Structure 1
Amino acid sequence: MTLRVGAVGTGGMFRGAHLPAWQVNPDTEVVALCDTNKEAAQKIADEHGITSVYTDYKEMLAREKLDIVNICTPNLFHSEVAVAALKAGKHVFCEKPDAVSPEEAVKMAEAAKESGKVLMVMRNNRFRTVSQFLKSYAQKGHMGDIYTGRCGWIRRRGIPGKGGWFTTKELSGGGPLIDLGVHMIDLALWFMGNPKPVAVSGSAYTKFAETDLSDSEHSAFGSKRQDGVFDVEDLASGFIRFENGATLQIEFSWASNIEQETRFVELRGTKSGFSLTNEDLKLFTEIEGTLCNIQPQIAKKGNGHGDNIHHFVDVVQGRVEPVFRPEQGVDMIRILSAIYESARSGREVRLDK
């Protein structure tokens, strides 16, 4: 059975990461596109032989016989489109973040449960070969009790789409914390076994709203506007406590005076720890009473975004169990929202009340 896909939002993420995956998957066919910029969507449709183009996703849902709705809109609309698609009986694959508030994330999770359809939000970093190795390593008990760590994605100068929806809080929900934080916090929590968050403390800063300097390829995302809005943070840091006593330090920036852009997850367990910096992995343990540093040689295979979408299709087809569940997305947005609240109030925010 070929699954018919309708896409809502046809910007750079859809063109560069989502569309190629749908096109090479033998079980899927993209049959409709929807974007407020009809000209841009029509150009993509013409290039790829897609027959239907819409500017209103509700019209697309009503007219097209779809099995899957793929969402790549600005963050504000993720939950609105997802809930409508799930209620219409469609499976949903959505670009991260899950939503801009915990309330909207809950609506998505509840709609998925009530509809019986699959809801999955992009967690592409889980599908990197190095991540798969570390997940297996931790699951098999080689790290022991994972009790603390830190993660982040820090850029020197890499503000995406300055003045556009990325830097407009109403549309994005925030800056690098909600943009980059989903990636690395999710990865850390996944390795840790998805412990339940109970409290956070955080700070947020906006210090580089006036700069146009860039040294990051990622700043090409989004559409810049010279007369646009910049009312989000450019750096956020924080601390998360979990129900099992574990803790996690976090830091995310689009712009800060550091040496170079770096992604990292470092976790420490009672048997071993690791440092994953960009693609460089090191394990720290002891063997026969000797402290040892181990550097696994892991060949990079596949594509995280594409592999995530292929996994989603396998779940829809009933071939595998999902590695991501909507309740994990709810916890993620609760964490991010609470960090923003802590930054505003200057106090720790409890999540277990």
Structure 2
Amino acid sequence: MNKNALKLLLSGLLLTSSAMAETLSLPDGFPTLPPQDRAVNDYVTTVNADNSVTFRLFAPSANKVTLFTGATPESYVAHAMNKDAAGIWSYRSPVLSPNLYEYFFSVDGFRSIDTGTTFTKPQRQVNTSQVLVPGSLLDVRAVPHGDLRTLTYHSGQLNAERQLAVWTPPGYDHSKQPLPVLYFYHGFGDSGRSAIDQGRIPQIMDNLLAEGKIKPMLVVIPDTETDTAHTTPEDFIPQQRRKVFYPANANAADAELIHDIIPLIAQRFNVRQDADGRALAGLSQGGYQALVSGLRHLEWFSALATFSGVSTSTVPDSAVATQLAKPDEINRQLRHFTVVVGEKDTITGQDIAGLKQTLEQNGIKFDYHAYPGRGHEMDVWRPAYIAFVQQLFRQDR
């Protein structure tokens, strides 16, 4: 076909498409499209130059839209939004401190994520959006960047195909020295992306390493939820989770860590094989996992942290109880044992209080910090992670 014929064909197709578009009508009830005479930033959430945030939602048929900010139901704050002639609802916040903030909308009583952004909180049921106000360690800065690698593997312990993430420091592929490893577990109801997208571990590690505040290491982020038979969280009402789900899931995840994950990392990466080269931490349900695996296999790790973790105060574990009765072994083995909680945590506050009392009564050395005014939230766990990771792998025995 020559060029002129091709042009005629394309012109005909365009004319036909245009004519069809003019004759087609949208079905009844089809939502109105965003305004075509406005820039995209006029109807999506944006961070302003002064670090205030203008939250927007295009919902022309809605009668009432309310913005909710905050990380927990106890801290939610409602903000009335106003609608313009184009059907765009908006609210401009005061100037905000650099941080990652959570929010969602109530649209005539329906809870909705921000449909104008892909930046949602990684959860098994996604219902919250996020906005990053720049100026903190959570930013992507112009520093050398590590790599975030996804490994798909078969877990023999779970008889399932699984995935985990591994952050490796800049220049890792050219390094001949075996590196230490931090294993980090996310919390209940979150997905494997939680520690990455919301916890901001890659950005934190890049920035701390560039500032010389941490030692080069790998961070391995497994999926805390094993989803084995009868251990899926959605199968249990909240009152039953601590009785049934947590113990069963912790047993499965512990077996996976020791028999699948740690050997996999040793096979795929140049890492240290000694206890001084391993640390274990987690938040909320992941904090329970860290406590269970860290104490059951005390000889495998040199540092342990639980951030607002469920504890054996409410989910007993006989192996952990036996180990907690051996304070000399724990004090000798662990260089760092960190326990963190938000001062207003109504989810695991009692768990951490019970663990703290047990550790004190048994003479076990640990670092404790309660974040004032905070609940069960990332504004506890991100600062706690930042503080903990700076302590790791500073010296060998």
Q: What is the TM-score when the length of structure 2 is the normalising length? A: 0.27
Higher relative contact order (CA 8 A, sep 6+): 1
Q: What is the TM-score when the length of structure 1 is the normalising length? A: 0.29
Larger gyration radius, structure 1 or structure 2: 2
